[in-house]
Structure 1
């Protein structure tokens, strides 16, 4: 007699085992079906579909309305999408959510886009706080001020002369006269250790101090946050992320207190955003101390579950372009007044010695860690690539998915080296939009040709993930580093700066490539591309119903796309009031 096929046998056969009838397993029934939509799946071979079904926390079926509705049962929830577009859950590959939420604990932070805006903020804080209370204005960058310079102490005195005031970005600080007096800084003062005093044409201190971390460190210390503060902050910012379609993130720098906040929220089933958490090291430590930091960690990359995983080790190799401290391949040049200094030989700051970068890479390789590094300038990227090459004796580093974070200036040689190593890039397109014009003016058109060359990176076959570096303010479009994914995608597609200039148009990418940056490519960064990043049966049911068709709407409308529904783990975590 003929032998039944395995699938036919499983569906229809009834077998007697020890006299007991074993009935075939019932076909899975969907908990929810979303139909009559345009599903951009990113599932290889299935570009688009009309419907999807969810069972538990994963996708059960994806296909035509007829195919997917066939999985419904009497208790299945059915949602008619009415032609709306669905994309995979969006993944921000670079965030600092706890820091971002805590930044507005005391008061909302406005966009600091002019000296007048800084003065308004100081005046408002002075009115709301007791006399004598210090006022700290955080994350102010002269490159983003209309005046393209830092305020002077006189401009700070004009609105708050009776209390200490500091305008700060972590490297450059401006102190008012009361604070300068407290520190005993006069025209006769020498430059502080590791720093430089700004002076006017008469030699008087302007209030600007560059560097001088030993002197200014206490001013920059945030308040002592409690464990509860951190947990509440994390939940607060995750709700914000859900509103723009973010279902997963990579937190790119946490300490033990930050890890504990995530663990507490996971224990209490309070997470609505999946997260891979990066452990930040003190790369400037002595080599034996750095080794002790790494060898003392009780976990390795990948430990955790679908909600919370241990991510990479991270060192910070250089500074930033907004402060003029990114480590470049050649000196900044002569157009650096915006940064508050004039030094035609200055290349930036190498904050982690090259030997320590290599030590971190070697220990990460040997102990089971993935590694990334903050490298903004091209010189810093070269230092990182040198380290990765030095520890890749067997040519297998690509399997570990070591990464370059930011990597704003990869020239063709660096791209070729990165391709040979098989490393990934986590980049922030918003910086091109906000800062491209000033970088062109400071560095010149030739060097800016290599600013975030996305087309070249994609054409080289490198994995490029989209992120925001969100760390200050909660507004998705107007945070210091905006985190709205569709704003980021629009910038990647258009390369348009905030003045309307299209910067190096030949480096634009397609809409689908931009979507991949915030989905499959970001999932690759955490070894999870088989679990999330596309809409296909068996993967985690993370998806977003959006307000416009990403693939066909006018290009200018991409940045205005909003989430209508956000679903994580099969559960709706956000629905717009006017949504379907």
Structure 2
């Protein structure tokens, strides 16, 4: 039986009461929390002593929403993160082609460009990609994952022509003639692409191992796969069967396309099997606010016709049916809602379904960027959770001010309003959209500063402790795991993280610079910082 005592540092239990002196873990479980003297009295020759040396111990972070299988795929793509121009995008694609000695006709995929950061101020098109790499099918994804651009060969390979109609909930960009595709694909026109080459199973497992290590470097021991389809489930189930998962993964099945996966895998539903479980269903109700596809009740600023409001993915009747399925099966449902019109569609659909069954399925509004105060009141009444993408304040806060004006744009990720309304809320990074950096997310929620130095609505700021709750105790509650995770309490899992500084004692503007020193999963160290190493993106 392996015992460890952690002592000589700040210990943030995320439980009511004062700060204890020490924590005792045994066989992956927290056995006792108390004074150093009392816990040392329970030690023996086989007890490991972990001197925190003044560092800070707290429960490991819990990721309330990301896409670990999608993140894993990005390790083999051209990184377009941080590109400032069309020219830089083309240069990176050409360099990737040359460095990998690709044969003519082999696919090239890129990820991470953001038109808001490009000097051209718009999305690239197929002409740019043709010029950069005309002998290869090329497909690049926007950082949000909601849209992208294909070159001529790629459009041919995926079957998009002048005769291809816009799919429901999506849009195909066209040349001035209104027919010929210009390469831009939006929402379901992009996310529904089929026929792309896939890495071998061995390559996918290798990518997943690297993705897990990245989350662990950021102190995260419970991770989400936020839109699991058949291929992703096959990979996750394989790795679980091989005991290859280093952290807990909660899978949310694509309700529109793959709901049969729940019926076919009952042993995984709400029960971990080798660190993998199915937590419920996921649906998308709209798009991206920075990409101007989020579904709004009022028009965007600067739209050509003055009345553009984005658009829904599903009609109201379809969403009501999704909610009926989730409620009747007693399974949690996560709905991607950025705009307030999408938020209202979710609230209305759940209110109707819940009135008939009254089950505790804790539905989660994912992102909730522009949810209104009156909607938060309704969410509290229905016991709905909001999971905010709080890092939007930094990455796209300036863009939101342009797209929505100050009244709406300054309120994005309204954690302060949620707190005052009594809505349980969590914070996520939507990885691979941005790195799974919980401390940076906490910094964003506490300070609400944009890249250009604008301070967004200070009424929506929360304290560092409240932000920590969002990625520990609140996130555990979101997963129905409040009795096992999220705080340091006897009987809970020994999922812990050691930080170089206490987020509650530093200047709030310094929180982003705090380093993860060690990550512990079920009592075992799964990451330890060495030398001058810093947590890094893949």
Number of aligned pairs?
Answer: 525
TM-score, normalised relative to structure 1 = 0.82
Contact 2:78 2:92 in 1 (8 A): no
For the residue of structure 2 that corresponds to 1:264, the secondary structure is: helix
1:272 Cα offset (Å): 1.6
1:50 Cα offset (Å): 2.2
Compared CA separation, residues 296 and 352, structure 1 to 2 (3 A):
farther
Instruction: Please say if 1:512 is aligned against 2:465.
Output: yes
Tell me the distance in 2 between the aligned counterparts of 1:291 and 1:110.
Answer: 33
Compared CA separation, residues 297 and 367, structure 1 to 2 (3 A):
farther
Contact 2:78 2:110 in 1 (8 A): no
Tell me the distance in 1 between the aligned counterparts of 2:293 and 2:146.
Answer: 8
Compared CA separation, residues 60 and 329, structure 1 to 2 (3 A):
same
What is the aligned partner in structure 1 of residue 218 from structure 2? 244
Contact 2:501 2:514 in 1 (8 A): yes
Contact 2:107 2:197 in 1 (8 A): no
1:207 Cα offset (Å): 3.2
1:251-305 Cα offsets, whole Å, 9 max, x none, are 211123323333333333322211221111227xxxxxx9878767746851335
What is the aligned partner in structure 2 of residue 468 from structure 1? 429
1:75 Cα offset (Å): 1.6
**Alignment counterpart, residue 572 of structure 1, candidates 507, 510, 525:** 525
**Alignment counterpart, residue 362 of structure 1, candidates 324, 329, 354:** 324
1:484 Cα offset (Å): 0.6
Compared CA separation, residues 518 and 221, structure 1 to 2 (3 A):
farther
What is the aligned partner in structure 1 of residue 479 from structure 2? 526
TM-score, normalised relative to structure 2 = 0.88
Instruction: Please say if 1:142 is aligned against 2:115.
Output: yes
Contact 2:221 2:495 in 1 (8 A): yes
Instruction: Please say if 1:537 is aligned against 2:490.
Output: yes
1:126-173 Cα offsets, whole Å, 9 max, x none, are 323224444333343312434321235554455334544444446654
**Alignment counterpart, residue 184 of structure 2, candidates 191, 199, 209:** 209
Compared CA separation, residues 183 and 235, structure 1 to 2 (3 A):
closer
1:214 Cα offset (Å): 6.5
Tell me the distance in 1 between the aligned counterparts of 2:205 and 2:135.
Answer: 36
1:77 Cα offset (Å): 0.9
Instruction: Please say if 1:36 is aligned against 2:8.
Output: yes
What is the aligned partner in structure 2 of residue 277 from structure 1? 251
Tell me the distance in 2 between the aligned counterparts of 1:350 and 1:394.
Answer: 25
**Alignment counterpart, residue 556 of structure 1, candidates 496, 499, 509:** 509
Aligned ranges for residues 189-228 of structure 1 at < 5 Å?
192-194=165-167, 195-199=171-175, 207-211=182-186, 221-228=195-202
1:418-456 Cα offsets, whole Å, 9 max, x none, are 010011112211122101111111211122243111011
Contact 1:38 1:51 in 2 (8 A): no
What is the aligned partner in structure 1 of residue 351 from structure 2? 389
For the residue of structure 2 that corresponds to 1:309, the secondary structure is: strand
1:309 Cα offset (Å): 2.2
What is the aligned partner in structure 2 of residue 475 from structure 1? none
Aligned ranges for residues 397-436 of structure 1 at < 5 Å?
397=359, 399-436=360-397
Choose 1 or 2 for highest CA Rg. 1
Tell me the distance in 2 between the aligned counterparts of 1:271 and 1:569.
Answer: 12
1:534 Cα offset (Å): 0.5
1:192-212 Cα offsets, whole Å, 9 max, x none, are 545454446x99979353449
**Alignment counterpart, residue 231 of structure 2, candidates 251, 254, 257:** 257
Compared CA separation, residues 193 and 42, structure 1 to 2 (3 A):
closer
Compared CA separation, residues 145 and 350, structure 1 to 2 (3 A):
same
For the residue of structure 2 that corresponds to 1:54, the secondary structure is: strand
Instruction: Please say if 1:326 is aligned against 2:301.
Output: no
Compared CA separation, residues 311 and 540, structure 1 to 2 (3 A):
same
1:345 Cα offset (Å): 2.7
Unaligned runs of 5+ residues in structure 2 are 533-538
Unaligned runs of 5+ residues in structure 1 are 1-28, 284-289, 337-341, 472-479
**Alignment counterpart, residue 309 of structure 1, candidates 270, 277, 292:** 277
1:350 Cα offset (Å): 1.2
Contact 2:290 2:399 in 1 (8 A): no
For the residue of structure 2 that corresponds to 1:159, the secondary structure is: helix
Compared CA separation, residues 322 and 139, structure 1 to 2 (3 A):
farther
Cα root mean square deviation, aligned: 3.1
What is the aligned partner in structure 2 of residue 114 from structure 1? 85
What is the aligned partner in structure 2 of residue 7 from structure 1? none
Compared CA separation, residues 527 and 99, structure 1 to 2 (3 A):
same
For the residue of structure 2 that corresponds to 1:93, the secondary structure is: coil
Range that drifts further, 386-395 or 209-218: 209-218
What is the aligned partner in structure 1 of residue 340 from structure 2? 378
Tell me the distance in 2 between the aligned counterparts of 1:491 and 1:538.
Answer: 32
1:528-558 Cα offsets, whole Å, 9 max, x none, are 1111100111111011111111111122221
Contact 2:115 2:122 in 1 (8 A): yes
